[in-house]
Amino acid sequence: MLTVLMAAGTLVAVLGLLAGRLMMWRLTVPEKHPETSRPSLSVIIPARNEAQRIGPLMESLRNQQYTDMEVIVVDDDSSDRTAEIARTAGARVLRSAPAPDGSAGKSAACWLGANAAGGQLLLFLDADTRLHAPGGLDKLVSEYEVRGGNGLLSVQPYHTVERPYENLSAVFNLIVMAGMNTFTPASWKLPPAGAFGGCILCSREEYIGTGGHYAIRGELMDDLALGAAFRDIGLPVYCLGGRNVITLRMYPDGTRSLVEGWTKSMGSGVSSTHPAVTALVSLWIAGAFMPAALLAAAGWSGMTGWITAGAALYLLYGLEVFRLFRKAGNFRFTAVLLYPFHFLFFTAVFIWSLYAVRVRKRVTWRGRQVDL
State whether CATH 3.90.550.10 applies to domain 41-254.
yes
Side-chain half-sphere exposure of 303, counting CA atoms within 13 A: 16
What whole-number distance in Å separates Cα of residue 350 and Cα of residue 282? 12
Query: Over the chain, what is the mean pLDDT?
Result: 88
Task: Identify the weakest region by mean pLDDT among 168-172, 185-189, 247-251.
Answer: 185-189
Residue type, 245: V
Residue type, 132: H
Residue 20 has pLDDT above 80, yes or no: yes
Alpha helix (H) ranges present in the chain?
Answer: 2-23, 54-62, 82-88, 106-116, 136-146, 170-178, 204-210, 212-215, 222-232, 255-269, 275-301, 304-328, 335-354
pLDDT digits 0-9 by tens, 361-370: 776 666 666 6
The residue ranges of every structural domain in the chain are 2-24+274-362, 41-254
Confidence label for 237 from pLDDT (cuts 50, 70 and 90) = very high
Residue pair 39/74 in contact (Cβ under 8 Å)? The answer is no
Predicted TM-score of the model (pTM): 0.89
∠224-273-236 over CA atoms, to 5°? 55
Residue 99 has pLDDT above 60, yes or no: no
pLDDT digits 0-9 by tens, 274-291: 888 999 999 999 999 999
pLDDT digits 0-9 by tens, 137-160: 999 999 999 999 999 999 999 999
pLDDT digits 0-9 by tens, 38-96: 999 999 999 988 988 899 999 999 999 998 999 999 998 788 899 999 999 999 999 88
What whole-number distance in Å separates Cα of residue 108 and Cα of residue 140? 24
Residue pair 29/245 in contact (Cβ under 8 Å)? The answer is yes
Q: How far is CA 298 from CA 15, 30, 262, 286, in A?
A: 20, 47, 35, 19
Max CA-CA distance within the chain?
71
Q: How far is CA 44 from CA 75, 122, 288, 356, 365, in A?
A: 11, 7, 40, 30, 21
